[in-house]
Structure 1
Amino acid sequence: MSTPFGVPPEPAAPAGRPSVQTRPSFSSGLSKLAPSSKHSLTPGKVHLYGPKGNFVRTVTFGERFDPGFFKKVIIQVKTNNHPIWAGLVVGGFGLAGGALVVAAVLNIGNPFLFADRRDTWKEMLGHLKGSAWDVWLIYFSDVSPNWKGHAVETLQQYLRFKLIGMFDQLGSITKDMSSTMHNQYKEVLEYDLALVALLAATAPVFKMLLPMSSTPMGRVALMTHAGVFLTALGNLVKQFADVYNKYETNLNDLELKLTELKGAFYNMGNPARGPRDLHVDPDVKDIAYWEHVTKENS
C-alpha cells in the first residue's frame, strides 16, 4: 500500500493497528500540497517548492510560436502610410489628422501574446484538476480500502473541506484569467483587422486624388475623402478606448479575486509572512487513531 501522497510505508504489521514504522507518513506528503512562498519561472516551465523551500516538481507548458500576424499588420501599415499622410497634409488635416493616425497606430497590438497567455492558463487548469483528482484517487485507492478509524475520517474531512476547496478556488481564478485573455485576444485581433482594412481601402483613393488636388474640384474631393477617413478612424479609436476601459475593469476585478485568494494561502494575505498553516488535525499523525483493515475487522 502507498500513502495518500505517494510516500510508501513499510509493509503493514499483522496486528490490527500499524506500528510506528508502518503507519502512513503524511508530513512529507502534505508539505508538497501546502502553499508555497517560493517559485521559479523559466520560459515554458514553473518550478514548484514546498513551504520550507524544498523542490517539489517542475510543471512544463507547451511551447507556442508566433505565426507572424503582427509583423504582417505592421508591414501593411507602413505600406499605406505615405499616401495617407500626404493626403491629410494636402487636404489641410495634417496636424489633427496626423495625431489621430498616430493614436490609431499606437493602439495596434499583437493578439498572439493574449492567445499564448490564454492557452497557458488553460494548461494550468489542467494541471490543477489533474492534481486534485490524484489526491482523491490515491485516497480512495490506498487509504480508504486499507485503513479505518478516527484518523481516516479526519483526513477525509481535511481533504474535502480544505485542500480540495483550495484547488477549486485556484481553478476558478484560472478559468477567469483564461476567458479574459481570450476576450482580449479577440478584441485586439478585430481592431488590427479593422485598422488594416481601413488603411488599405483609404490609401489607393488618396493616391488617385493627390494628383488632382491642384484643381478646385480635386481639392474638394480630397478634403471630403480625408474627412470621411478621419471620421471612421475616430470611431475606431473610440471603440478601442471603450474596450480598453471595459477590460481595465475586468482586470481590476481579477486582481481583487487574486488578492482574496492570497488570503487563503498566505498569512494576512501577504507572501512575505509565509504560507498559511493548513492545521492538519494532530490525530491524523497519531498511530493510535489508525486501524488497519484486516479480514477480522473489515
Structure 2
Amino acid sequence: ELPVVGREHAPNLIAWLEGQNVVVKAPPRDINAAIANQDEDVILRIGPEFPAQWRKSLPAPLEIIQDSTRQDAQIPVQRLQGLLSAYGGQTGSLRLLARGISPGTATAIQIRRTDLATPEAQRGRMLSFILPYFLIISAFLGGAALILDATAGERERQSLEPLLATPAPRGAIVSGKIAAACLLALVSLLLTLLAFKLGALLSPTVGRQMEVSFMTIAKLVLILLPMVFIGTTLLTYLAAAAKSMKEAQSHMTWLMLLPMLPTIVLLVNPVKTQMWQFAVPFLAQNQLILKVVRGEVVTAQQWALYLAAGFGLAAILWFAATRRYQQEQLAISG
C-alpha cells in the first residue's frame, strides 16, 4: 500500500503503479505524524508543478517522504524508488524514440561494480545479524552447566535426597540453585559484552557500524537480564525431571535453536516494529538489541512492556520449577 499526495496530478503514473501491484490509497491527514508513529512506511508526494513539467518533457519532481532511521521501512522505500526509476526510464526511452533517437544514446556509460571489501569488513557488516543470536544464547544458556549439575547431576549422584530431607523449604532450595546459576550466567554475559567492547575498539569497522559505548552495554544487560532468568528457570524445570545428566543435556539441542527463530524470520520476512513484538520472547530481545546497537531510541512504553513480559514469564517458570520440586519422587534416581 502506498499513500499518495496529489495523485490527481499524475494519473498515468498512478495507473502504472497500480499495474505493478501497488495499492494506491489516500494520504493521512498529518503526514509527519504518520511517519513518526510508524503508521506508514513511506509516502509519495506529487506536486502541482508535475503536469506542466511533464508536458514540456522536463524532469517532473516527485517527493518520497520517509524516516531513514527506520530499518524496517527500507524495503518499501527501496521498492518505490526502483518502481519510479523504472517508470522514468521507460518514459525517457519512449520520448527518445518519438524523436527518432535510439534510447541507447542516453546511456553514455555502463557501470560495473567490483567489491574490494576485505573479509573483516564483510564480517563487521554481518555482525548486526549474528550479534543478537550470540548475546541471547549467552544469556539464555549461560548458567546451563551449573543448573544441570545442581539438578540432574545431584539426582544421578543420589545426593539430592539428603538435600531435600533438610528442614530448608524446597522453594528456598530451588531458588538458591536458580540464583547461583543466574549469577554465573550474568558474569558470563558481562564478560561477553566487555569482549565485544574490546573488539569494537580494536576493529574500526565494527566501531563505525554499531554503537558500543558503556551506556549501550548497560542497556544490553538490561535487555538480556530477563532472558537470564527465563533460560535458567526453564532449564531448572526441565532438568528436574531428568533421571540423568545425559537425559537433561538432551534438551540443550532444541533450546539452542530457539534464539535463532526470530533472526531467521526477520531475514526471510522483515516486519515493521509493532508494540506486541516486545512481549514475545526472543523476538523482543532481537528487536531491542538491534535498536540499541544502531543507536535507535527505545521508548518508555517499549521498555515497560518488555520488562513486564520478560520478568512475568520468568516468575511463571520459577513457580513451575518450585512446584516440581515438591514432588516426592524427585529424589529417586532411576
TM-score (norm 2): 0.27
TM-score (norm 1): 0.30
Give the structure, 1 or 2, with the largest relative contact order (CA under 8 Å, sep 6 or more).
1
